[in-house]
Amino acid sequence: MQVNKLSVMLAVVGAALLLIGVQSAVGARSTSRSSVVVSARTVPGLGKILVNGAGRTLYMFVPDKRSRVTCHAVCSRIWPPLFLKGTKAVAKGGVKASLLGSDKDSTGGRVVTYNRWPLYTYVADRKAGVAYGQAVNQNGGLWYVLSTSGAVIKVKPHSGGGGGTTTTTTTTSGGGG
């Protein structure tokens, strides 16, 4: 009888530990899904620019004019907006939380903004550390990366997306929104 009680007790303790482990994993996963991370990464030829949680380059679209999302339908399939998950975006790695915000999208969601510019990724950037969309004129306007200060970086890369340097023009007016 003593062995059976010990076996049952070990099984109960094991099940409890397993349940605690599963709950911890689910809790951690739901927390990470509830926020969007905006961080910074140095890309050759462009300097320190904004990236998403996966390290992929984030862009602004000139026609947005720091006021609203204007990339919809076909445009948003090529330049997916960085949708807000949860209540706010999280700033890391030199990104200024005071410049983070969001803007309402036509689909009813919210798009993360930085210095009032809605943020997008580019489908041709298939890995972290590249910026093939930099200075591209597509879908009705120009696409540029942003620095951690919120400035638009208008360097035209020679090749490879962010590999060259010519002149840098920055625009830095306004605050977070």
Smallest Cα–Cα separation from 144: which of 114, 102, 99, 111? 114
pLDDT computed for residue 27 by the predictor: 39
pLDDT computed for residue 19 by the predictor: 39
Q: Dihedral of CA 46/47/50/52: which sign?
A: positive
Mode of pairing for the β-strands spanning 59-61 and 110-114: unpaired
- In the chain, which residues have pLDDT < 50? 6, 8, 10-32, 161-177
Smallest Cα–Cα separation from 76: which of 101, 47, 105, 38? 105
